[in-house]
Structure formats: C-alpha cells, structure tokens
C-alpha cells in the first residue's frame, strides 16, 4: 500500500485543518504581542502586528478559495501548487516559480 503524498488536489478537510492551525497560531501570537505592555508606537511591535494581520487576511482568503474550489491552484500560472508547499504554507496563493518571479 502506498500513499500518494504529491497529489495535486489537496483534500479540503486537510486544507481547512492546516488553515485553522495557522489561524489559531497567528491569533495567539497577535494576542501575545498585544499583552507585551510595550508602547503602542514601538516600531518593531507595530511591524509584527501588521505582518500577523496580513497573514490572517491571507488565511481567510485561502478559506474562500477552498469554498470556491480554487484552493491549491496558483493564481499566476493556474497550475496546481505542490502538496508539499501547501503543507508548509497552507495559505499560499502561488507556486514557488511564480513567487520567485514576483519577488
């Protein structure tokens, strides 16, 4: 019996589970940042908060892609995003090649 770990179509339940984990981790990190007691105008703290909020928006967009059936498809080239990339970065919108080109 062999498992196909490189399947192009991610299972929606697995994707949702990974996204839920990513969301709860980011929310916990955001809460920790808020509880640090540092001044609101601390530049590093502000940048970290902004980055966490951006990732949370990306996670919500990934949930929407699951619902509309486009999750796991690169928004640039329309090819499937490898399962390994989705495991590491479940909210990604792009395959590695397209991400590199954009950077």
Indicate if the pLDDT at residue 8 is higher than 60. Answer: no
Name residues whose C-beta falls within 8 Å of residue 74's C-beta, 6 or more positions apart in sequence.
80, 81, 93, 94, 95, 98
The pLDDT value given to residue 37: 64
User: Rounded to 10 degrees, what is the CA torsion of 92, 29, 63, 6?
Assistant: 40
Condensed to tens digits (0 to 9), the pLDDT of residues 19-32 reads 999 999 999 998 88
Q: What is the pTM of this model?
A: 0.80
């Amino acid at each position: 019996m062999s498992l196909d770990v490189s399947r192009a179509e991610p299972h929606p339940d697995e994707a949702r589970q990974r996204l839920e984990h990513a969301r709860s981790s980011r929310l916990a990190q955001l809460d920790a940042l808020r509880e640090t007691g540092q001044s609101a105008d601390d530049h590093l703290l502000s940048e970290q908060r902004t980055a966490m909020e951006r990732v949370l928006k990306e996670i919500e967009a990934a949930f929407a892609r699951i619902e509309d059936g486009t999750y796991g498809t690169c928004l640039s080239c329309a090819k499937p995003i490898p399962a390994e990339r989705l495991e590491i970065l479940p909210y990604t919108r792009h395959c590695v090649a397209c991400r590199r080109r954009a950077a």
